[in-house]
Structure 1
Amino acid sequence: MKWSFVIQQKFKAAVLLGGIMALIVGATLISRYNVEGIDESFSSIYKDRLVPATTILYLTENLYRKRLSLENHLYSDAQQSPEHVKAQLRAHDRSIDSLIRLFEKTYLVDEEAKSLHGFKNQISNYAKLENQVLALCVAGSFAEAKQLFSAPGGATFESTILNLNELAAIQSTIGKDLVRASKVNVASFGIISFLQISLAIVTGLVVIVLIRNSQIVQKPRANSKKSQYFNLN
């Protein structure tokens, strides 16, 4: 009877320990998933948010440099040749095209792709306007060139900058969402780690109880042998 009791207790303990081990393995897998999610979030923050944000900064710089180059040509006393100004503008255009290609390689949400498409159209329109201004300068029509640069040119330039500001706002919003998701994964990882520690403590207590019960069961056997020897005497 005692051995049947021990076997039953060991079977229950084995089932309990098996369940605890299954929980630990499951918690470990979930923790690994959370860690991977945190890593992906931070990688995305750098690759898909920080890089585009830096790209937007350089795009803005090139746009203002283009605007300033053409403005200096129109209003400065020491005017440069239209060919030289055109070469400067084309250099900035190549830099802008390179930055746009870099931006397009990142992950774009629908709103972001739509805004970028609008920006590319504005860039194309502004480049055409610059060519018209330079053509008027070559023809000697500086008054008309200044008027074109100031009125329609200013509105087109402002719309282009607004597109960039919109892209920057999208980067900020999505970046905040990624940070929020990372915080959720970190909190979940902390809870699961606490659960794993608790399960490890429970496992240790179960092992201690099993050892204690096995010692208690073995002691009466030794006492029963002594009583048998006493009866023989």
Structure 2
Amino acid sequence: MKWSFVIQQKVKASLLLGGIMVVILLSALVSRMSLDNIDHSLSSIYQDRLVPTVDIVYLSEHLYSKRLLLEQGLEKNASTSWQELGKQLSVHTHKIDSLLVEFQKTKLVEEEVKALNALKTHAQAYATLEQKIVRLAAHSASQEGKELFQSEGSQLFQQSIHRLSELTKIQSVVGQKLIKDSHTETYYCNLLSNLQIIITIIIGTIVVSLVVNSKIIRQDSQPFHLN
């Protein structure tokens, strides 16, 4: 009977320990996935949110620089070297194109794709209009160039700035979501960590209980003539 009881206890203990090991294994896998998600979110915050936000600042700077250069050139008119001004504008345009290409390489949500495509369209149209204004001014048609600069040029410039502002807002919203997701994953990691601690305590209790029961059974099973 005693050996039957011991075997039953061992079977129960084995099943219990096996179940606990499965739970520990699953919790460890889930914890690893959560840590991977946190790492991905943090990397995305830097690569896909922080860096593009800096690029937006540079894009804005180049757009305003071009606007100021052309405005000053039209004000000076006769004393302006239109060929040199055209080259300066082209340098800024090239830098804007490079920044847009880098921006497009990042992970974009649907709203960002639409805003970025619109920005590219407005920026290209504005660059083409700038060169047209420079050619007009170089051929003594500065008044016509000023009118284009103040009408269509102003509209395209404002549209470009509006798209930059829109991209900045989207960056902020998506960045906040990534941070919130990271906090959620951290919460689950802590929860699983606490679960593993509890399971470890349970295993320790079971082991101690088995050791104590084993000693009692060995004492009870001593030969009768020794009593």
User: Under a length normalisation based on structure 2, what TM-score does the superposition of the two structures give?
Assistant: 0.96
State how many pairs are aligned: 227
CA distance in 1, matches of 2:113, 2:212: 68
Alignment check: 8 A CA contact 2:136 2:145 kept: yes
The structure having more radius of gyration, on CA atoms, is 1
Q: Deviations over 1:87-144 (max 9, x none)?
A: 0000001101111110111111111111111111101111122122112211212222
Aligned to 2:143: 143
Q: Which residue of 2 aligns with 1:33?
A: 33
Q: Which residue of 2 aligns with 1:123?
A: 123
Please give the per-residue CA displacement for 1:22-41, whole angstroms capped at 9, x wherever unaligned.
Answer: 11111100000000000011
Aligned-residue CA RMSD in angstroms?
1.4
Instruction: Check the 8 A contact 2:77/2:142 in 1, yes or no.
Output: no
Identity %, equivalent residues: 43
What is the CA–CA distance in structure 2 between the aligned matches of 1:91 and 1:134, rounded to whole Å? 15
Q: Which moved more, 1:144-153 or 1:13-22?
A: 144-153
Distance 1:128 1:44 in 2: 35
SS in 2 for 1:216: helix
Equivalent residues in 2 for 1:17-166 (5 A)? 17-76=17-76, 79-166=79-166
The answer (yes or no) to whether the contact 1:72–1:79 under 8 Å persists in 2 is: no
Instruction: Tell me how far 1:197 sits from its aligned partner.
Output: 0.4
Further displaced range: 96-105 or 140-149: 140-149
1:11 matched to which residue of 2?
Answer: 11
Q: Give CA deviations for 1:140-164 in whole Å, capped at 9, x if unaligned.
A: 1222222221122111101110011
**3-state SS of 1:222 partner:** coil
Higher relative contact order (CA 8 A, sep 6+): 1
8 Å Cα contact 1:133/1:145 also seen in 2: yes
Q: For structure 1, which runs of at least 5 residues remain unmatched after alignment?
A: 228-233
